[in-house]
Amino acid sequence: MAGGRTLQFVDRAQAFPAKRPATARAEDFREIADRYALPAAEDQAGRCSQCGVPYCSVHCPLHNHIPDWLRLTAEGRLREAYELSNATSTMPEICGRICPQDRLCEGNCVIEFSGHGAVTIGSVEKFITDTAWEQGWVEPIVPGPDRGMSVGIIGAGPAGLAAAEYLRGYGYAVHVYDRYDRAGGLLTYGIPGFKLEKPVVMRRVERLAAAGIVFHYDFAVGRDASLDELRERHDAVLIATGVYKARGIKAPGVGSDGVVEALDFLIASNRKGFGDAVPAFDDGSLDAAGKHVVVIGGGDTAMDCVRTAVRQGAASVKCLYRRDRTNMPGSQREVTNAEEEGVEFVWLSAPQAFEAAEKVSAVRATRMRLGAPDASGRRAPEEEPDSGFRLDADLVIKALGYDAEELPRLFAAPELGVTRWGTVLVDNKTLMTSLDGVFAAGDIVRGASLVVWAIRDGQDVAKNMHRWLKANAKGERKAA
Ligand X SMILES: Cc1cc2nc3c(=O)[nH]c(=O)nc-3n(C[C@H](O)[C@H](O)[C@H](O)COP(=O)(O)OP(=O)(O)OC[C@H]3O[C@@H](n4cnc5c(N)ncnc54)[C@H](O)[C@@H]3O)c2cc1C
User: Residue 372 Cβ, how far from ligand X at the closest point, in Å?
Assistant: 30
Should residue 301 be labelled a site residue for ligand X when binding is judged by CB under 6 A? yes
Length of the chain: 480
242 binds, among ligand X, ligand SF4, none (CB under 5 to 8 A by kind): ligand X
Considering only residues 283 through 322, tell me which ones interact with ligand SF4, judged by CB under 6 A.
none
User: Which one of 35-43, 187-195, 310-318, 377-385 is the stretch in contact with ligand X (CB under 6 A)?
Assistant: 187-195
User: Residue 49 Cβ, how far from ligand X at the closest point, in Å?
Assistant: 26
User: Which one of 74-82, 121-129, 134-142, 174-182 is the stretch in contact with ligand X (CB under 6 A)?
Assistant: 174-182
Q: Which is nearer to ligand X, 222 or 253 (CB)?
A: 222
Size of the site for ligand SF4 (CB under 6 A): 15
Should residue 222 be labelled a site residue for ligand X when binding is judged by CB under 6 A? yes
Cα–Cα distance, 295 to 263 (Å, whole number): 12
Cα–Cα distance, 455 to 434 (Å, whole number): 22
Neighbours of 314 (CB within 10 A): 23
Neighbours of 63 (CB within 10 A): 14
Strand 236-239 to strand 438-440: parallel, antiparallel, or no bridges (unpaired)?
parallel
Q: Name residues whose C-beta falls within 8 Å of residue 412's C-beta, 6 or more positions apart in sequence.
A: 222, 226, 227, 228
User: Which one of 41-49, 245-253, 365-373, 451-459 is the stretch in contact with ligand X (CB under 6 A)?
Assistant: 451-459
What are the beta bridge partners of residue 139?
A: none
Considering only residues 34 through 73, tell me which ones interact with ligand SF4, judged by CB under 6 A.
60, 62, 64, 66
End-to-end CA distance of the chain: 51
Should residue 178 be labelled a site residue for ligand X when binding is judged by CB under 6 A? yes
Residue of the chain from 17, 122, 160, 299 that contacts ligand SF4 (CB under 6 A): 122
Q: Which is nearer to ligand SF4, 122 or 299 (CB)?
A: 122
Sign of CA dihedral 27, 32, 38, 43: positive
Residue type, 169: G
Should residue 180 be labelled a site residue for ligand X when binding is judged by CB under 6 A? yes
101 binds, among ligand SF4, ligand X, none (CB under 5 to 8 A by kind): ligand SF4
Side-chain half-sphere exposure of 341, counting CA atoms within 13 A: 32
62 binds, among ligand X, ligand SF4, none (CB under 5 to 8 A by kind): ligand SF4
Neighbours of 459 (CB within 10 A): 19
Residue of the chain from 125, 130, 261, 300 that contacts ligand X (CB under 6 A): 300
Residue type, 66: I
Residue of the chain from 195, 198, 307, 398 that contacts ligand X (CB under 6 A): 195
Cα–Cα distance, 369 to 463 (Å, whole number): 47
What are the residue ranges of helices labelled H in 101-251?
Answer: 110-113, 121-135, 158-169, 186-189, 198-210, 227-233
User: Residue 217 Cβ, how far from ligand X at the closest point, in Å?
Assistant: 9
